[in-house]
């Protein structure tokens, strides 16, 4: 399960596609302009050969990208109480994120939506509720970005699985995922930023939905599933398991981004952050992206 480790701490340099057209200049709070250390110095520091580095991993330089530099040091709001999503955002250098959980009831009628549409609408309602609440406070600093996400697990029969409500349901959920065909995990991410120009509706909004196919190991025993349920690790997870934790032992393979199953697909999230910030300067007659 080395890919679990890679998903959490990174497996080396990653190629990131930057959306062209952003003319934003780095703010005074952007990363230092000094060049990064040489590879020799970095390797020596990482191995501790210099004798000067304190214990622990060496500090990681944040990504030097125009969109991230534009909002670094400003008010960034995560409309979710998930510590996993906050941790994942820190991997792209967004460390000082303010957590403002949404009060949206998340009670949409699943029968009227496709799983893709359901998770997107839920994430949109979360983001809009928090954005409206924080911008209504005239005494507070206006946020540079509000981000919300929602994750659901969809069984092979099309049933949308969210968080288990009790031990019996939890065990039944995991058995179904083990005994059935591979299931899908959808995460929708929605970002909003205020517009400087006085244009309706006053904000720009972008979204994405990522899909990952997960296959449980059919050799997992009922005893193991019962033991896992008793750990209570999966009680606050869609589908009832944590791919980044002990729940990884239930999984045979995945097809798609692992961080999407954890709750925030970083590659797709970075793309829509870049896109929504490029909409800050909207040409006459052009409307912000709407869902």
- Rounded Cα distance, 273 and 77, in Å: 13
Nearest one of 154, 146, 170 to 113, comparing CA atoms: 154
Count the neighbouring beta carbons within 10 Å of the beta carbon of residue 40. Answer: 8
- 150 catalytic residue (yes or no): yes
Q: Which H, E and C letters describe 273-285, residue by residue?
A: HHHHHHCCCCCCC
Q: Which two tokens stand for residue 247?
A: 């729940």
* Active-site residue (options: 150, 236, 259, 284): 150
- Rounded Cα distance, 120 and 274, in Å: 19
Q: Which two tokens stand for residue 181?
A: 């065909």
- Rounded Cα distance, 24 and 69, in Å: 9
Q: Is 98:278 a contact under the CB 8 Å cutoff?
A: no
DSSP 89-149: HHTTT--SEEE----------GGGS-HHHHHHHHHHHHHHHHHHHHHT-TTSPPPSEEEEE
- Rounded Cα distance, 250 and 178, in Å: 8
Give, in order, the Cα–Cα distances in Å from 255 to each of 56, 139, 190, 216, 261: 32, 46, 23, 12, 11
Length of the chain: 291
Catalogue the active-site residues: 150
């Amino acid at each position: 399960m080395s890919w679990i480790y890679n998903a959490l701490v990174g497996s080396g340099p990653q190629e990131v596609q930057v959306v062209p057209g952003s003319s934003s200049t780095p703010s005074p709070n952007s990363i230092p302009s000094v060049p990064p250390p040489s590879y020799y110095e970095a390797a020596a520091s990482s191995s501790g050969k210099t004798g000067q580095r304190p214990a622990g991993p060496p500090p990681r330089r944040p990504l030097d990208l125009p969109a991230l530099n534009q909002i670094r040091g400003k008010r960034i709001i995560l409309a979710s109480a998930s510590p996993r999503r906050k941790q994942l955002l820190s991997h792209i250098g967004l460390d000082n994120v303010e957590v403002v959980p949404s009060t949206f009831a998340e009670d949409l009628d699943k029968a009227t939506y496709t799983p893709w549409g359901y998770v997107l609408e839920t994430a949109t309602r979360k983001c809009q509720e928090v954005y409206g609440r924080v911008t209504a406070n005239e005494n507070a600093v206006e946020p540079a970005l509000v981000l919300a996400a929602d994750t659901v697990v969809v069984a092979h029969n099309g049933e949308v699985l969210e968080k288990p409500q009790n031990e019996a349901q939890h065990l039944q959920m995991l058995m179904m995922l083990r005994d059935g065909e591979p299931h899908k995990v959808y995460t929708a991410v929605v970002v909003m930023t205020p517009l400087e120009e006085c244009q309706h509706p006053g904000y720009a909004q972008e979204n994405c939905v990522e899909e990952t196919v997960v296959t449980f190991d059919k050799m997992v025993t009922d005893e193991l599933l019962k033991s896992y349920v008793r750990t209570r690790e999966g009680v606050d997870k869609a589908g009832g398991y944590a791919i980044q934790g002990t729940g990884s032992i239930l999984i045979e393979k995945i097809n798609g981004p692992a961080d999407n199953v954890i709750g925030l697909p970083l590659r797709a999230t970075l793309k829509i952050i870049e896109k929504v910030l490029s909409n800050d300067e909207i040409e006459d007659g052009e409307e912000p992206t709407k869902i």
